């Protein structure tokens, strides 16, 4: 019996899971190919929600999608593991050992062979080698880190509450992640105060540091100005043109010599590919470690290896590392890869800008249409933009779950409001 064509997808983020689901429902279900998804976690979360998980204003138990469950429903296989090596000659990847938090090895190092490999391993914040950042700052690039930050946030909040002290938090990076995190942390304290039995909640001092001249640089200046004013109205200190030169256990040092004290220090600036890409010998990388690909999303050096999402860089026509880009690239490969398997040429990927949206908790929100026109803000507190942000999340759920299970998920979330606290307290 002839061996099936083997498609291995590494990374179960927005792009990776969407591609595995679509290919599984087409060529996996029909038996034309064997689809395997690899990820170091056992569950998928929508990355634009990580700041909510970090603040505790969203219950990630309800927002996770089990890879094993998704695989069984959509005709693909799931392997837990983290890629550590690539052998293009042997058409195989190496997966690092899977370990318990104690360090005990659960699964030894393994190899996985492929006929087509799709790398969708996402990105991380970029500390640009700034001294002390790796040792003294928290990151929220994945669910484990977001949950880790939330644990620290709740413990420091409890300490501040018990000692009647102020809690200082400083966030580096005025892009969407840092800006939304600042608002969401204030929302978390507002919600937590509802459960304080009348006692005055601790004062939360948040400082947002942005090296550029304004926050939200991907949005029009009007949105940046309005967002800055909204953050300041709820008590966030926004410092622009604030270049961080170092970090220690007590705060940040700025290039102009001033210090920003902070008990919790978050780094949400810059974008770079995971360090593992530098282990892939012979492949051309961008300055931030992204894999350079042709417009077809194939590597420059290998027709059988693709890269998409934040870890890919199209040198001929770069696109921003956003969720909508990753999603469109997954749809592109899901549509054309089955034909490519039969010898057809791949058409180039074309990005269709659908606009952008940013939501500052329940306080305000703004969006832009593809032409640049702004909506949201105003006396309705940007309800239209905040609803669009929620709809994008629901769209992602419906794509992966299907209509019926997507509706059930919405219903469960709605009912959960009446059962659980509005913010994570334990």
**Among candidate residues 341, 362, 395, the one where a domain is terminated:** 341
Residues 132 and 256 in one domain: yes
The predicted-structure confidence for 241-259, as pLDDT tens digits, reads as follows 999 999 999 999 999 999 9
pLDDT band at 188 (very low <50, low <70, confident <90, very high): confident
- Give the pairing of strands 105-107 and 98-99: antiparallel
399 and 411 part of one domain: yes
Domain assignment present for 425? no
Pairing mode of beta strands 259-261, 251-254: antiparallel
**pLDDT number for residue 419:** 67
Whether 32 is covered by a domain: the verdict is yes
Tell me 28's DSSP state: I
HSE-up of residue 396 (Cα within 13 Å, Cβ side)? 25
As a whole-number percent, the residues of the chain with pLDDT over 70 amount to: 95
pLDDT score recorded for residue 202: 78
Task: Report, as an integer, the average pLDDT of 146-162.
Answer: 90
* Nearest Cα to Cα of residue 309 among 276, 335, 341, 333: 333
Whether pLDDT at 260 is above 70: yes
Please spell the DSSP secondary structure of 349-370, one letter per residue. P------EEEEETTTEEEEE-T
Give the per-residue pLDDT at 201.
74
Q: Which has the minimum average pLDDT: 154-163, 310-319, 359-368?
A: 154-163
Q: How many structural domains are present in the chain?
A: 3
Q: Are strands 77-80 and 65-66 parallel, antiparallel or unpaired?
A: unpaired
Residue 295 has pLDDT above 70, yes or no: yes
Distances (CA, A) of 110 to 18, 71, 98: 25, 20, 10
Q: From residue 18, how far is each of 63, 76, 300, 371 by CA, in Å? A: 16, 12, 24, 27
Is the pLDDT at 197 greater than 60? The verdict is no
Weakest-pLDDT range from 196-210, 241-255, 380-394, 395-409: 196-210
pTM greater than 0.95 (yes/no) = no
- Determine, yes or no, domain membership for 52: yes
Q: Tally Cβ neighbours within 10 Å of residue 278.
A: 11
143: left (phi over 0), alpha (psi -120 to 50) or beta: alpha
* 38 shares its domain with 164: no
Give the end of a domain, one of 212, 245, 271.
Answer: 271
The answer to whether residues 108 and 223 belong to one domain is no
Q: Are residues 116 and 14 both part of a single domain?
A: yes
- Between 59 and 166, name the one with better pLDDT: 166
The confidence score (pLDDT) of residue 255 equals 95
Is the pLDDT reported for residue 21 higher than 80? Answer: yes
Q: Are residues 131 and 227 located together in one domain of the fold?
A: yes
Q: Give the domain extent around 158.
A: 125-271
Q: For residues 293 and 402, state if they share a domain.
A: no
Q: Are residues 259 and 158 in the same domain?
A: yes
From 341, 369, 400, the end of a domain falls on 341
Per-residue pLDDT reduced to its tens digit, 335-359: 999 999 999 999 999 999 999 999 9
3-state SS record for 254-311? ECCCCEEECCEEEECCCCECCHHHHHCCCCCECCCCCEEECCCCEECCCCCEEECHHH
Determine the average pLDDT of the residues in 376-388: 85
Q: What CATH code is carried by the domain that includes residue 263?
A: 3.50.50.100
Any idea what the CATH number is for the domain that residue 12 is in? 3.50.50.60
**85-111: pLDDT as tens digits:** 999 999 999 999 988 878 888 889 999
Q: What is the pLDDT of residue 378?
A: 80
Structural domain includes residue 346: no
What is the pLDDT, as a whole number, of residue 425?
Answer: 61
Question: 33 and 79 share a domain?
Answer: yes
Same domain for 132 and 101, yes or no, is no
Among 183-197, 336-350, 370-384, the least confident range: 183-197
Asked if residue 96 and residue 223 are part of one domain, the reply reads: no
């Amino acid at each position: 019996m002839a061996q099936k064509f083997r498609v291995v997808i590494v990374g179960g983020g927005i792009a990776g899971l969407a591609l595995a689901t679509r290919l599984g429902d087409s060529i996996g279900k029909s038996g034309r190919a064997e689809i395997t998804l690899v990820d170091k976690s056992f569950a998928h979360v929508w990355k634009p929600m990580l700041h909510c998980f970090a603040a505790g204003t969203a219950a990630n138990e309800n927002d996770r999608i089990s890879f094993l469950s998704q695989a069984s429903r959509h005709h693909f296989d799931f392997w837990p593991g983290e890629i550590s090596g690539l052998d293009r000659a042997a058409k195989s990847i190496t997966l690092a050992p899977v370990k318990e938090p104690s360090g005990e090895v659960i699964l030894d190092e393994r190899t996985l062979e492929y006929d087509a490999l799709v790398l969708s391993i996402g990105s991380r914040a970029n500390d640009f080698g700034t001294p002390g950042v790796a040792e003294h700052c928290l990151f929220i690039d994945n669910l484990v880190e977001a949950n880790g930050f939330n644990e620290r946030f709740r413990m420091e909040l409890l300490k501040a509450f018990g000692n009647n002290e102020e809690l200082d938090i400083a966030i580096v990076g005025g892009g969407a992640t840092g800006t939304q995190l600042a608002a969401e942390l204030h929302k978390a304290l507002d919600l937590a105060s509802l459960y304080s039995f009348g006692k005055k909640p601790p004062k939360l001092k948040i400082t947002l540091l942005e090296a550029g001249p304004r926050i939200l640089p991907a949005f029009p200046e009007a949105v940046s100005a309005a967002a800055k004013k909204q953050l300041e109205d709820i008590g966030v200190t926004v410092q622009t043109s604030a270049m961080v030169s170092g970090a220690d256990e007590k705060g940040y040092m700025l290039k102009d010599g001033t210090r920003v004290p902070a008990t919790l220090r978050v780094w949400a600036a810059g974008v770079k590919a995971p360090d593992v890409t530098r282990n892939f010998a012979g492949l051309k990388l961008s300055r931030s470690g992204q894999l350079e690909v042709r417009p077809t999303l194939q590597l420059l050096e290998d027709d059988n290896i693709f890269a998409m999402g934040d870890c890919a860089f199209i040198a001929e026509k770069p696109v921003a590392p956003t969720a909508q880009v990753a999603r469109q690239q997954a749809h592109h490969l899901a549509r054309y890869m089955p034909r490519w398997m039969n010898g057809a040429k791949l058409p180039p990927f074309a990005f269709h800008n659908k606009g952008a949206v940013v939501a500052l908790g329940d306080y305000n929100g703004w969006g832009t249409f593809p032409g640049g026109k702004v909506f949201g803000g105003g006396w309705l507190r940007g309800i239209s933009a905040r609803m669009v942000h929620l709809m994008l999340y629901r769209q992602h759920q419906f794509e992966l779950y299907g209509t019926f299970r997507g509706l059930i998920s919405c219903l469960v979330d709605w009912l959960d409001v009446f059962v659980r606290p509005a913010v994570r307290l334990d």
